[in-house]
C-alpha cells in the first residue's frame, strides 16, 4: 500500500495515516478528510478546484430539473475524439460553449451549478463498475442523492442507497475546497484511474 500512496501524497506520516485507514473489507463509501492534490483526480486535473467555480455562466438553471434538462442536451464525447488527447478537463465555461465533453466535464458543470443554487454537493472521482468515472453527490438529508450527469436516458438523480453498489468512490472535493479520500481509492488506483469511454447510457 505505501507504494501506491506515495504517488498521491508526500511525507511518510501522511502515507502511514492513510495506510492505517484503508481496509479491504470496509465499505468503499467510508471516507476520511485529507488534503489531496488535484492531480490525483485524473491525468489532466491540474487546476485548483476553486477555479472551476469562477467565471461568468451563460446558463442560469433555476433548479435541479432545469440543470438536468440542460445536461441532457449536451453530447457525451470522450477526450480522444474531442481534443485528440487521452484526458482533458474543460472549464465549465468552455463546456457551456461546446455543449459536449466527457464525464468530468459534465460533472464539474453540474457541481458548479449546484453551488450557485446553494445545494451542498461533492465532485467525485472513482469507478462506475470497472470504468474510471466522475459524478456528483448531493449531500441532502436524510438521504444523499447521486447525480449521474452523463445520463441521456432514464433519471439523472438517484437516492444513494439504490446505486451505491455500482459506484466505487475514490476521491471527492466540496465547494469549499475540502477533499476526502474513500476506502475505494486503492481499487481506483489499481484500475489505472483513466477513462476508457464516456458511460452515457445509465
How does residue 200 score in pLDDT terms, banded at 50, 70 and 90? very low
Each residue's pLDDT tens digit, 33-67: 998 889 889 888 889 999 999 999 999 899 999 99
Q: Which residues contact 166 (CB under 8 A, 6 or more apart)?
A: 128, 129
Mean pLDDT (the chain) is 88
What fold, for 2-190? C8orf32 fold (3.10.620)
Q: Distance (Å, rounded) from C-alpha 148 to C-alpha 150?
A: 6
Each residue's pLDDT tens digit, 140-160: 888 999 999 999 998 999 999
Helix 103-116 / helix 64-72 crossing angle, nearest 10 deg: 160
Each residue's pLDDT tens digit, 69-98: 999 999 999 999 999 999 999 999 999 999
Q: Where are the domains of the chain?
A: 2-190
Amino acid at each position: 500500500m505505501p507504494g501506491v500512496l506515495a504517488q498521491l501524497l508526500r511525507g511518510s506520516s501522511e502515507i502511514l495515516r492513510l495506510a492505517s485507514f484503508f481496509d479491504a473489507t470496509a465499505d468503499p463509501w467510508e471516507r476520511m478528510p485529507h488534503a489531496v492534490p488535484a492531480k490525483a483526480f485524473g491525468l489532466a486535473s491540474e487546476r485548483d478546484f476553486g477555479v472551476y467555480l469562477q467565471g461568468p455562466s451563460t446558463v442560469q438553471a433555476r433548479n435541479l430539473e432545469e440543470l438536468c434538462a440542460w445536461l441532457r442536451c449536451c453530447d457525451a464525447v470522450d477526450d480522444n475524439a474531442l481534443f485528440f488527447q487521452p484526458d482533458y478537463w474543460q472549464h465549465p465555461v468552455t463546456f457551456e460553449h461546446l455543449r459536449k465533453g466527457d464525464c468530468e466535464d459534465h460533472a464539474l458543470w453540474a457541481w458548479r451549478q449546484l453551488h450557485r443554487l446553494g445545494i451542498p454537493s461533492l465532485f467525485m472521482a472513482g469507478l462506475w463498475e470497472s470504468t474510471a468515472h466522475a459524478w456528483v453527490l448531493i449531500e441532502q438529508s436524510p438521504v444523499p442523492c447521486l447525480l449521474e450527469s452523463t445520463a441521456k436516458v432514464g433519471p439523472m438523480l438517484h437516492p444513494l442507497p439504490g446505486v451505491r453498489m455500482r459506484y466505487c468512490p475514490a476521491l471527492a472535493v466540496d465547494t469549499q475546497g475540502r477533499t476526502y479520500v474513500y476506502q475505494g481509492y486503492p481499487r481506483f488506483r489499481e484500475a489505472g484511474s483513466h477513462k476508457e469511454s464516456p458511460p452515457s447510457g445509465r
